Amino acid sequence: MTIDEELNLLDQQLRRLKIEYEIYFSNPTKKPPADIEWKVLSLLRKFSDGARISFSQRYRYNEMAQRYAIYSDLWRKKTRIREEGYRRPQDAILSVQGVRPAEEHEAQHHIAYGVGHGNAAAAPASEPGPFTVQCSDVSAERDRVESLYKALVDAKKKAGESISGNLDSFTKFVNKKTNQIRKDYGCHNVEYSVEMENGQVKLKAKAKI
């Protein structure tokens, strides 16, 4: 099978996966389409390094990888609501809606950094911060992580906020978060940004193809 044929197959499987998830969320007796999703993820990972594909093929792959990242983020939210029940009025809307144009943005995370660890939750897209850096292999990108740490510390100092942990613990945190997001979204890079939001310093991360 040629690369173009495999990309055609990926496109077909992605469309089928979207339909199967729509059926799953509308039918309480259905099981999630894990087998189809596994096939989609396998193909996404196969071409993630871009080493064997042309520019046009890479462009097409990026579009499909981004589309999956958007869908996957929504499916996780809807699955959580399906399993835990409605907790907020907007959950009832989310549980039945599809992906509308307004929702088609890059999956983005707010990160709470503490002593070498943190957590991330899906958040609406916002304007890029004044400092951004992309990571894919943290062990080989110490200078980038150090620049990110310095930007975060400086921003927190200016805002009168404190930060716990040192550069080593922060590096371990970024390494763990980068690996997690790359695995979840099938992306090559993770973009981190230091931003001011509602008077508070935020460290954010989002999947980048």
Q: Are 132 and 203 in contact (CB under 8 A)?
A: no
Whether 209 has a pLDDT exceeding 70, the answer reads no
Q: How far apart are CA 186 and CA 18, in angstroms?
A: 17
132-147 pLDDT, tens digit per residue, is 888 888 888 888 888 8
Maximum distance among all Cα pairs of the chain, rounded to whole angstroms:
58
Q: Which residue has the higher pLDDT, 24 or 51?
A: 24
pLDDT band at 108 (very low <50, low <70, confident <90, very high): low
Q: How far apart are CA 33 and CA 24, in angstroms?
A: 8
pLDDT band at 8 (very low <50, low <70, confident <90, very high): very high
- At 31, the amino acid letter reads K
Tell me the C-alpha to C-alpha distance, in Å, between residue 153 and each of 54, 63, 115, 137.
41, 35, 13, 22
Q: Round to the nearest angstrom and report the end-to-end CA distance of the chain.
A: 24
Mean pLDDT of the chain: 75
Q: Is the dihedral of CA 193, 172, 141, 41 positive or negative?
A: negative
**Pick from 175, 192, 178: nearest CA to 132:** 192
Tell me the C-alpha to C-alpha distance, in Å, between residue 63 and each of 15, 16, 184.
13, 16, 16
Q: Which residue has the higher pLDDT, 103 or 130?
A: 130
Strand arrangement of the beta sheet that strand 131-135 belongs to: 118-123, 108-113, 200-208, 189-197, 131-135
**Pick from 192, 190, 204, 187: nearest CA to 67:** 187
Q: Are 57 and 4 in contact (CB under 8 A)?
A: yes
Whether 196 has a pLDDT exceeding 60, the answer reads yes
58-87 pLDDT, tens digit per residue, is 888 888 988 898 888 888 888 877 776 644
pLDDT of residue 9: 94
Q: How far apart are CA 78 and CA 94, in angstroms?
A: 7
Q: How far apart are CA 78 and CA 82, in angstroms?
A: 6
For residue 204, is it left (φ>0), alpha (ψ between -120 and 50) or beta?
A: beta
